[in-house]
Amino acid sequence: MKTKKIMELVMLCISFAFFAISCQQDDNLSEITDNKATVSVRMKGIGTYMGNVQMRGISTPKVQYCRTTFQGEEVVATLTEVGGMMSRAEGAITPLPDGTEYSVMVYADGELKASHTFVQGSNDEFNFELTPGTYIFKAYAYGNKEASGADKDPLWCEKEVVVTSGTNSLDILLVHKLTEVKVVFNAGASHTIQAINKDGAQSVITPNFNYTFNEESGEVTFNEEIAPANIMFPTQEAGNVWTSDPVMIAVENTENGKVELKGVVIDGVSGEVALDGWVLKAGVQYELTINLGDKLPAELTYTVTVPAGTKNCYMKGGFLSMNNNWADFIQLEKTGENTFSVTLPTYKNETYRYFAEKGKEYIEVNADDTDKADRTWNENQGVDVVDKWKTMPSEPTLVTIKCLVPRTVTDLYIIGTFDIQWQLDPLGEKDKMTYVGEEGDKKAFIYEYTTINPTGLEFKFAAGPGRQYIQSASENYTTKNVEPYEANKYAYEALAFKSIWTPSVPTTAKVQWQESTSQLKEAVNKYW
């Protein structure tokens, strides 16, 4: 009887132990499940990139003009940036052709965590299995992997993504890393183009450089100049308009772009068309329209009298002649106490309105606060009067931007919608943030900026004075819809950069702190 009771007791203990183990296993399983994340990839296609508004002090208008002649008749050429918007790969999107391979790499803390090569159109159901956290996703492909030189057309995408538990989706929008130009020759209704590149003559575009493309970083390195790129026109019937195949060139930034059309035959007359002085930027797509005969819009002057106290004046309009269909604000120059003026290549019937600052809340209205009708130059020969602003801009506000970065960062810079917008290279003292100490395991830097639109700023951070040190995240930081930690003070974290600048140690720093070993170590750590 005693033995039986002992056995029952032993079995009861085993049951309790098994129950405890089972509960523990269930808890661990729950923990694993909660920390599991999957990321599926969705290919959006190939976008367009507008490049930087400024490049080394060179003006980079969206539309450029050039005049020449063809057998005594005037030729007007217009070079237009195709689609897109500044600093973002948006705008017109073209599908990635089926069968194209593209590789996606996943990084965390600078280390490669996973990678996979997809084939467009293959219905690859591969998902990345990751632990929740912040990752840098990079993707690359080639427009023509088998081609050589610029025709290979490297494509790139980089995004910082916060991956959460459960299912996540990642949209991939690739952009060209090299420059693309398409030529449209419009001879007009009264002329006929019979040939371009006749009898072996070859139309070309320059300059063109040898280059290397880093698939891991997305950086393009331009080397020595090579032979010009050929401009090819597909076989077509004689007609008023001929369009070339898109041509790729490898060029970083230049203001000496040149297009030479050779073997041109129009109405039986042969000749050449040479157009130079084009500003070309890396990664941008252009359309070069060549018109036989003067088809340029007029250089029209717009002068406006504004309400007293107006400090700035902008206009926005349907300026299709400038490839600016109510897209960008155009700043006018102050010419008097309450007058502003600007001269633009526009048509007389194009519509526009004035603004006291960049934003729809600052648009002009009638004296009774009703909406103002769109203006045209024809209405008053460009001499206008603003009765009232919908909102008069407030006094400038001091905005503080704080950023936490890894302790390896020595100097931090900021670029964005400030005095000179998005000038990546070079960065100077005006772009440099102020080091204010450490917060936990990170360094803190601040930047102060005075603006009338404190919630409308966009910017990026750089861990050094150039584009090679830009943040790894492709998206812009912004003050829009961000809760300040104090009035007009905003905090951010930038934890990954393409490269981190390392300055040299000032000689005086080593001499200044030689009173003790601890002070010397402190000085070295500070400057290094």
Q: Tell me the per-residue pLDDT of 254-269, one tens digit each, with 9 for 90 and over.
A: 889 999 999 999 999 9
- Whether residues 186 and 156 share a domain: the answer is no
Residue 501 dihedral angles phi and psi, to the nearest 5° = -75, 140
Higher-confidence residue: 526 or 416? 416
- Whether residues 427 and 469 share a domain: the answer is yes
Render pLDDT for 137-166 as a digit per residue (tens, 0 to 9). Answer: 999 999 999 999 999 999 999 999 999 999
Tokens (6 digits) for 206: 């320059």
Given the structure tokens 């930027």, which residue do they identify?
281
Kindly tell me if the per-residue pLDDT of 180 is higher than 90. Answer: yes
Q: Summarize the confidence of residues 123-143 as an average pLDDT.
A: 94
Task: Specify the DSSP element, H or E, that contains 2.
Answer: helix 2-34
pLDDT at 336 (0 to 100): 95
- Whether residues 89 and 77 share a domain: the answer is no
Residue 390 dihedral angles phi and psi, to the nearest 5° = -60, -40
Residue 149 · residue 163 · CB < 8 Å: no
d(CA 315, CA 357): 9
Domain end residue (candidates: 131, 161, 176): 176
Q: Summarize the confidence of residues 290-305 as an average pLDDT.
A: 85
Kindly tell me if the per-residue pLDDT of 33 is higher than 90. Answer: no
Please give the residue range of the domain that contains residue 225.
59-81+178-292
- Whether residues 224 and 302 share a domain: the answer is no
d(CA 389, CA 387): 7
**Residue partners of 516: CB distance under 8 A and separation at least 6:** none
pLDDT band of 114, cuts 50, 70, 90: very high
Residue 24 in any domain: the answer is no
Q: Which of 173, 11, 169 is nearest to 92 (CA)?
A: 173
Kindly tell me if the per-residue pLDDT of 167 is higher than 50. Answer: yes
- Whether residues 334 and 438 share a domain: the answer is no
Domain end residue (candidates: 176, 191, 216): 176
Kindly tell me if the per-residue pLDDT of 355 is higher than 50. Answer: yes
- Whether residues 271 and 351 share a domain: the answer is no
Q: Summarize the confidence of residues 51-79 as an average pLDDT.
A: 70
d(CA 82, CA 287): 7
- Whether residues 258 and 341 share a domain: the answer is no
Residue 477 · residue 492 · CB < 8 Å: yes
Residue 142, CA atoms < 13 Å, CB-side half-sphere: 12
Kindly tell me if the per-residue pLDDT of 506 is higher than 50. Answer: no
Residue 270 in any domain: the answer is yes
Residue 247 in any domain: the answer is yes
Kindly tell me if the per-residue pLDDT of 51 is higher than 80. Answer: no
Inter-CA distances, 262 with 233, 241, 242, Å: 11, 16, 14
Query: Which range has the worst mean pLDDT, 49-58, 110-119, 377-386?
Result: 49-58
Residue 494 CA to its chain's centroid (Å): 18
Task: Specify the DSSP element, H or E, that contains 378.
Answer: helix 377-380
Render pLDDT for 335-347 as a digit per residue (tens, 0 to 9). Answer: 999 999 999 988 8
Q: Into how many domains does the chain fold? A: 4
Domain end residue (candidates: 126, 156, 176): 176
Residue 502 in any domain: the answer is no
Query: Which range has the worst mean pLDDT, 90-104, 279-293, 395-409?
Result: 90-104
Please give the model's pTM, rounded to 2 decimal places: 0.56
Q: Summarize the confidence of residues 281-300 as an average pLDDT.
A: 84
Tokens (6 digits) for 83: 């689609």
- Whether residues 162 and 223 share a domain: the answer is no
- Whether residues 278 and 217 share a domain: the answer is yes
Residue 200's CATH number: 2.60.40
d(CA 223, CA 480): 41
- Whether residues 169 and 248 share a domain: the answer is no
Query: Which range has the worst mean pLDDT, 320-329, 381-390, 503-512?
Result: 503-512
Given the structure tokens 């931090």, which residue do they identify?
412
d(CA 32, CA 521): 44
9-18, 40-49, 502-511 — which one is most confidently predicted on average? 40-49
Higher-confidence residue: 178 or 48? 178
Query: What is the residue-averaged pLDDT of the chain?
Result: 83
pLDDT band of 11, cuts 50, 70, 90: low
d(CA 457, CA 453): 7
pLDDT band of 104, cuts 50, 70, 90: very high
Kindly tell me if the per-residue pLDDT of 28 is higher than 50. Answer: no
DSSP code of residue 515 = S
d(CA 291, CA 399): 49
Residue 185 in any domain: the answer is yes
- Whether residues 280 and 311 share a domain: the answer is no
pLDDT band of 422, cuts 50, 70, 90: low
- Whether residues 138 and 279 share a domain: the answer is no
**Residue partners of 18: CB distance under 8 A and separation at least 6:** none
- Say how many C-beta atoms besides its own lie within 10 A of residue 325's C-beta: 11
The share of the chain scoring above pLDDT 70, in percent, equals 81
Residue 19 in any domain: the answer is no
pLDDT at 5 (0 to 100): 52
pLDDT at 27 (0 to 100): 34
Euclidean distance between the first and the last CA atom of the chain, given in angstroms as a whole number: 80
